[in-house]
Amino acid sequence: GEKVSEQKQTFYLTTPIYYPSAKLHIGHAYTTVAGDVIARYKRLRGFDVMYLTGTDEHGQKIQKKAQAEGKTPKAFVDEIVAGIKELWKKLDISYDDFIRTTDERHKRVVQKIFKQLLEQGDIYLGEYEGWYCVDDEAFFTDRQVQDGLCPDCGRPISKIKEKSYFFRMNKYADRLLRFYEENPGFIEPESRKNEMIQNFIKPGLEDLSISRTTFDWGIKVPDDPEHVVYVWLDALTNYISALGYGVGDDAKYKKYWPADVHLVGKEIVRFHTIYWPIFLMALGLPLPKKVFAHGWILVQGEKMSKSKGNVIDPVPLIERFGLDAMRYFLMREVPFGSDGVFTPEAFVERLNADLANDLGNLLHRTLTMVEKYHQGVVPEMVEGATEYDEAFRELALNTVKRVEAEMDKFQFSVAATAIWELVRAGNRYIEQTQPWNLAKDPGKHHLLGSVLYHLLEVLRMVSIMIQPFMTQTPSKMWAQLGLEEGPQTSWESLAAFGGLRPGTQTKKGNPIFPRLDAKEEIEAIYR
């Protein structure tokens, strides 16, 4: 048999499954890139990663949209899902599986779960009366609805009355509170937890309506085909149906569940930290280790959303500025957990400052000097060549530690900032050591070589650390630094300073991030 100690530690993470009701925008890209950054980082650290994304395809809204376009719901979603997969390809998203709620593998699990919960008495048949917003696929109480308008999107909302299956939520409220207490890291950021407790759990959880008879684009309730399962029980189950839970081959379920983290936008944290844990408790299954709620990307002060028509499409930005620029900006600009604003000005400014001036410049300057002063060959490092070396080396090694700590906390923007502090220190080190002056004195040639070595080695370390964020730049840097992917580009090689082998032939190329004409580029984005 296998030895447990030789098995890799697993890491299972998920994004929300998105509604394929329209083309996705930069907000969806934000969550999915963040997930990809985690997935890539964990793989680099030796984990056996399972990264899941997908689509939430049922419901009245999609049925109506399809009808309006004269298509069957399935044909309608198939087209959008194909576009979503294209987008993830353009963003280099390394997902391991893509679950669709229309997949047979998913439907079977939802029906099985429904049946079990009904037999157990957690679900009962009753009557639902209330407000339902088709656009948000959400139900609201009388108190929440004013002037017949949806409290979320502001559109007219209708009152409906129909037979419905209900889930007895409140039965699990105390257990849920105890779980929060015993698992302090379950909801992040912490402020979201208090919101859940004060606004939803403490006032008492209402029984949750989990079926509908007013439309039929959904998973049929077993033995009562007039009903389709209402969206959240269907949607949330994706996180285990994708692993084969409960039907046939459940090897993946056994291997990866419970999830290490569900990434979600803050507007759906309630469903993930109240409904989902309660469904799992009722099923007697372990709960996910963490739900991380990130903030919103705002445009002109408002949440970007399909219904407001203020969405930004990432594709033209990728095409004009490059994939790595897009990924870097998304992860660097906004602290994960807070809201952030997208503006063309900030975008172009960030690319010019961090990518062209800092990183691109450091690589290009360094390789130009190595070519000019050392025939393009990596020199030897000598101890104590300049008074700046030790601090520079220490900063490099400390940066590795900081990046590791921040990545483990999903603080991507802090991790990226730490890497860029090192890059800027590299440019400063050039000013401090003035290699061009050392070059004038033949007796100092070994000192000059050592300075260049420090710069090249830091560039190597940076190229390794940026891998989760950037998927194209590291190999471009390696080509110029004369490195091949392998031990010298592994995360483990960051443990000590000096992994770069003297004698390696570098190969200077064009600047990897040319400076942008800010005015022209900003205007181009506005167009």
**How many whole angstroms separate alpha carbon 208 and alpha carbon 205?**
8
Our CB check for ligand ME8 shows the closer of 238 and 399 to be 238
Tokens for 51?
């990264």
Q: Is 396 in the site for ligand ME8 (CB under 6 A)?
A: no
Q: Is 296 in the site for ligand ME8 (CB under 6 A)?
A: yes
- Reported as type and span, the H/E element at residue 31 is helix 26-44
Our CB check for ligand ME8 shows the closer of 30 and 51 to be 30
Q: Is 30 in the site for ligand ME8 (CB under 6 A)?
A: yes
Of 161, 160, 164, the C-alpha closest to 125 is 164
Q: Is 273 in the site for ligand ME8 (CB under 6 A)?
A: no
Q: For CA atoms 211, 215, 219, 224, give the dihedral sign.
A: positive
**How many whole angstroms separate alpha carbon 137 and alpha carbon 22?**
15
Q: Is 56 in the site for ligand ME8 (CB under 6 A)?
A: yes
- Can you name the residues that pair with 136 across neighbouring β-strands? none
- Reported as type and span, the H/E element at residue 99 is strand 97-100
Of 84, 99, 94, the C-alpha closest to 36 is 94
Tell me which stretch binds ligand ME8 (CB under 6 A): 260-268, 283-291, 457-465, 477-485. Answer: 260-268
Q: List the one residue from 11, 12, 13, 17 that touches ligand ME8 (CB under 6 A).
A: 17
Q: Is 18 in the site for ligand ME8 (CB under 6 A)?
A: yes
Q: List the one residue from 201, 205, 240, 264 that touches ligand ME8 (CB under 6 A).
A: 264
**All residues at 6 or more sequence positions from 146 whose CB lies less than 8 Å from its CB, including other chains:** none
**DSSP code of 212?**
E
- Reported as type and span, the H/E element at residue 429 is helix 412-433
x-marked contacts with ligand ME8 along 482-521 as a string, rule CB under 6 A: ----------------------------------------
Tell me which stretch binds ligand ME8 (CB under 6 A): 206-214, 240-248, 296-304, 493-501. Answer: 296-304
**How many whole angstroms separate alpha carbon 172 and alpha carbon 164?**
20
Q: Is 303 in the site for ligand ME8 (CB under 6 A)?
A: yes
**All residues at 6 or more sequence positions from 295 whose CB lies less than 8 Å from its CB, including other chains:** 265, 266, 334, 337, 338, 339, 340
**How many whole angstroms separate alpha carbon 66 and alpha carbon 76?**
6
Q: List the one residue from 297, 348, 430, 465 that touches ligand ME8 (CB under 6 A).
A: 297
Q: Is 153 in the site for ligand ME8 (CB under 6 A)?
A: no
Q: List the one residue from 265, 277, 435, 474 that touches ligand ME8 (CB under 6 A).
A: 265
Cβ–Cβ < 8 Å for 176, 228: no
Amino acid type, 506: T
Tell me which stretch binds ligand ME8 (CB under 6 A): 10-18, 144-152, 178-186, 388-396. Answer: 10-18
Q: Shortest gap between Cβ of 373 and ligand ME8 (angstroms)?
A: 48
Q: Is 314 in the site for ligand ME8 (CB under 6 A)?
A: no
x-marked contacts with ligand ME8 along 186-225 as a string, rule CB under 6 A: ----------------------------------------
Whole-number CA gyration radius for the chain? 27
Which positions from 427 through 466 interact with ligand ME8, judged by CB under 6 A? none
Q: Is 62 in the site for ligand ME8 (CB under 6 A)?
A: no
Of 521, 518, 486, 517, the C-alpha closest to 504 is 486
Q: Which residues bind ligand ME8 (CB under 6 A)?
A: 16-19, 27-28, 30-31, 56, 235-236, 238, 264-265, 267-268, 296-297, 303-304
